[in-house]
A and B are shown apart, each in its own frame.
Chain A
Amino acid sequence: MHRTGELYGQFETLEQQKESAALGMWVFLSTEVLFFGGLFLTYTLNRHYYPAAFGVGSNTLDLKLGGLNTVILILSSLTMAMSVWASSVGKRKQTTGFLVATLLLGTAFLGVKVIEYKQKFDHHLVPGYHFQIDYRVQHPAPNDDPKEIEAEKEELSKAFAKDPDLNAHAQLYFSLYFGMTGLHALHMIVGAGMLVWLIRQSMLGRFTPTYNTPVEMIGLYWHFVDIVWIYLFPLLYLIDRHR
């Protein structure tokens, strides 16, 4: 078994090994672009044909939590980039520190997502037999703000007038919501797993200015996952805020 940092047998030089790793990661990321791309295509078509349903669906999302998550994730990209920098100038403790920060921020992101998903579950907004777009206004919880409920009721009645099949179409929105954010979250979990490995390697002193390839490569992956969210946030949360 090769330890991180050694030259693998199929390569002639460390430089070749590094080049290959970098090209390999970028090519892999391009496959991810097309992978998510199919969902973005589906989103584009469905949003175009069902604007009322997408507007209503989007407004059920908690913008504060979504905005917070956006800040958290972009901050985690910063800390990830900083860990790459730290490893390239040989600062071992800072490398580990920034990696830990990235992991904590990523975990916080996932925690917020759990809260959001729970909210959707409570409001019967998970696609399936129990899906009902107007469940919340028909069964408001005791701590719901009555003004908010009223506003949502009005919004829903306007939307139903524009689109009698609002419930079915809103279900499509939520299928995409869960599908796209779910796939994104899955990628984050994989990223978190890789960060755990990176932190351990960093603590063992495996990264030096001449060899910090794993940090860079996993960094690339992490930034890509951030970019997916950069698109998901406006497309899912900001469709119809100007009601």
Chain B
Amino acid sequence: MSEHIVSPKVYIGIFLSLMVLTAATVAAAYVNLGPFNIVIALAIASLKATLVVLYFMHARYSPKRTHMVIIAAVFWLAIMLALTLSDYVTRDRDLASNTQLTGMLGS
């Protein structure tokens, strides 16, 4: 961790940005953007997360090895999602049709 002391003004600024982004994500949820709803939601969430990591968690002022750890974690999560989805996306029959239960369960 660096000795860099972040001023409270920065923290308050980040907090206000996070509030604005929260409002934005709620507002965007009420607009029908089809497949882009999820994209916008994740983009805003990722922006918020980035602000928290960089400023609240001091990543901006941390040594390189901290950045490596963060990048590694995100990268590994990404490959878990991407490679798994690559299997699902290329299968012939999708999950929903594979497990059609109509009439099988009472409810």
Contact = CB atoms under 8 A, between A and B. Distances in A.
Q: Report A-B touching, CB under 8 Å.
A: yes
A243 to B, nearest CB: 9
Contacts of B105: 165, 167-168
A40 B78 CA distance: 11
B86 interface: no
Given A34-B80, A44-B81, A82 B11 contact: yes
A37 interface: yes
Contact of A78 (B7, B12, B44, B73): B12
Nearest to B66: A26
A34 B77 contact: yes
Contact of A23 (B49, B66, B77, B107): B66
Interface string B28-65: 01111000010001101100110011011110001001
B90 interface: no
Interface stretch (A3-11, A143-151, A179-187, A223-231): A223-231
A49 B95 contact: yes
Nearest to B25: A234
A238 B41 contact: yes
A2 interface: no
Interface string A29-46: 110011001101100110
Nearest to B72: A30
B96 A49 contact: yes
A45 B5 contact: no
B5 A63 contact: no
Contacts of B49: 227, 230-231
A30 B70 contact: yes
A230 B48 contact: yes
Of A29, A230, A235, A242, most B-chain CB atoms within 10 Å = A230
Given A71-B22, A74-B22, A37 B77 contact: yes
Contacts of B42: 231, 234
Contact of A27 (B41, B69, B95, B100): B69
Given A41-B84, A234-B45, A85 B5 contact: yes
B15 A74 contact: yes
A223 B57 contact: yes
Interface string A158-199: 000000110110000000000000000000000000000000
Given A37-B81, A49-B96, A233-B45, 8 more contacts: A34-B77, A38-B80, A74-B19, A165-B100, A165-B105, A220-B57, A224-B57, A231-B49
Interface of A: 18-19, 22-23, 26-27, 29-30, 33-34, 37-38, 40-41, 44-45, 49-50, 63, 67, 70-71, 74-75, 77-78, 80-82, 85, 88-89, 131-132, 164-165, 167-168, 213, 216, 219-220, 223-224, 226-227, 230-231, 233-235, 238, 241-242
15 contacts: A29-B69, A29-B73, A30-B76, A33-B74, A78-B56, A85-B7, A165-B102, A213-B1, A226-B56, A227-B53, A230-B49, A233-B22, A234-B44, A234-B45, A242-B31
